[in-house]
Amino acid sequence: MVKLDSISKSFGGNTVVKNISLEIAAGERFTLLGQSGCGKTTLLRMIAGFETPDSGTIAIEGQDVGSLPIEKRPVGLIFQNYALFPHMSVYDNIAVGPRIRKHSESDIAKRVDELLEITHLKALRDVHPGQISGGEAQRVALARAVINRPKILLLDEPLSALDLSLRQHLREELVEMQRALNITFLFVTHDQEEAMGLATRMGIMDEGRLQQVGTPAELYERPETDFVAEFLGDVNRLTGKVEQRTGNTVTLSLGPTGNIQCISESSELENQTCYVRPEKLFFDTGRPQTQPVNILQGTLRSIQFFGSHSRYQLELAGGQMLTLSPQHRKSGCPQYSIGDSVRVLFAVSDVFTTRRGANEQ
């Protein structure tokens, strides 16, 4: 549906989009996640035609759209700070696009009514934007953006102005509406939960570069770069001296903390960095383990209770902090206190390494 090939863009010598290539298939909900200023909006503006890339090509359904003006591109856009026309009813706000294109009022009515149905706005048809909620306004913006039947809808942080509970609710609604409209979504956000919750696939951007593309699970479980490993979700980073390498099993010395093992394809002979997610760490209950595990000992420095799980900070002998967030079992949450000396376990297979360092793209 969309194919970006080596897109770059600079503003006054500052390159904000760097050689991005990306393909998005029809019907996907693709999310781009990245910190503020990493170039997300600039990329969307180039796809929509508000900016011209310095180099590279953009194709939609196989057609190079480089020479197409904004209004000819089969693209709908919901801006970061979208605004509805305050003096027009919900119906008239949605009808703006086709009226500019001089479609007949009967065609427009048919399409608007269909969209009011899909977006659950029928009851608000004749109401003005000042009298509707933030979530409802967001749905009007969606209907307005898709009324001209774009092939792809670009959504630039459309939920960022809304409060948290409404955002979560609208996220589910957006997925439902995307299916009903059978449209391709390209959604950009700096909110991880939003990016993962909405996506069929996602990409992670950093300083204008696309770091990695995959399903949310692939990016979380198999990050390819140190940046992705540390950016997406919580992770413990452990760097040690390579003591021994047997096949792809590496023994690392963490100094006074002890040794751990990990699986690594790299042939690094001196130092190796590896990662383990906090939810993969467990307190040692003395039960025998069925798989190879690493054992570390430390002192509990903080405990936070979150209902389904707790979060613990453990200080290892070398002074390094380790975060644990095991799920609570049926037997209830374990009883530990700050200052306790504890042993924690994690499976060797839950320790991962990345293929590329943060600055080795």
Ligand X SMILES: Nc1ncnc2c1ncn2[C@@H]1O[C@H](COP(=O)(O)OP(=O)(O)OP(=O)(O)O)[C@@H](O)[C@H]1O
List interacting residues with ligand X (CB under 6 A).
Answer: 11, 16, 34, 36-42, 80, 190
Compare residues 41 and 211 and give the one whose CB is closer to Mg ion. 41
Q: Does 189 bind Mg ion (CB under 5 A)?
A: no
Q: How far apart are CA 242 and CA 101, in angstroms?
A: 66
| Contact predicate 306/286, CB 8 Å | no
Compare residues 16 and 22 and give the one whose CB is closer to ligand X. 16
Compare residues 195 and 276 and give the one whose CB is closer to ligand X. 195
Choices 38-46, 131-139, 262-270, 314-322; region in contact with Mg ion by CB under 5 A:
38-46
Closest separation between CB of residue 39 and Mg ion, Å?
8
Closest separation between CB of residue 82 and Mg ion, Å?
13
| Residue 36 contact partner, candidates Mg ion, ligand X, none, CB within 5 to 8 A by sort of partner | ligand X
Closest separation between CB of residue 188 and Mg ion, Å?
7
| Residue 46 contact partner, candidates ligand X, Mg ion, none, CB within 5 to 8 A by sort of partner | none
| Residue 37 contact partner, candidates ligand X, Mg ion, none, CB within 5 to 8 A by sort of partner | ligand X
Q: Does 41 bind Mg ion (CB under 5 A)?
A: yes
- Across the beta sheet with 75-78, what order do the strands follow? 75-78, 152-156, 184-189, 29-34, 201-206, 209-214
Q: How far apart are CA 359 and CA 212, in angstroms?
A: 14
Tracing tokens 């093992």 back to the chain, one arrives at: 261
231: closest CA among 254, 210, 250? 210
| Residue 280 contact partner, candidates ligand X, Mg ion, none, CB within 5 to 8 A by sort of partner | none
Tracing tokens 């003591």 back to the chain, one arrives at: 243
Report CA torsion sign: 318, 323, 327, 331.
positive
Compare residues 37 and 256 and give the one whose CB is closer to ligand X. 37
Compare residues 41 and 93 and give the one whose CB is closer to ligand X. 41
Compare residues 155 and 181 and give the one whose CB is closer to Mg ion. 155
Choices 35-43, 117-125, 139-147, 273-281; region in contact with Mg ion by CB under 5 A:
35-43
Q: What's the first-to-final CA gap in the chain, in angstroms?
A: 27
Choices 36-44, 70-78, 147-155, 345-353; region in contact with Mg ion by CB under 5 A:
36-44
| Contact predicate 108/87, CB 8 Å | no
Where do contacts with Mg ion occur on this chain (CB under 5 A)?
Answer: 41
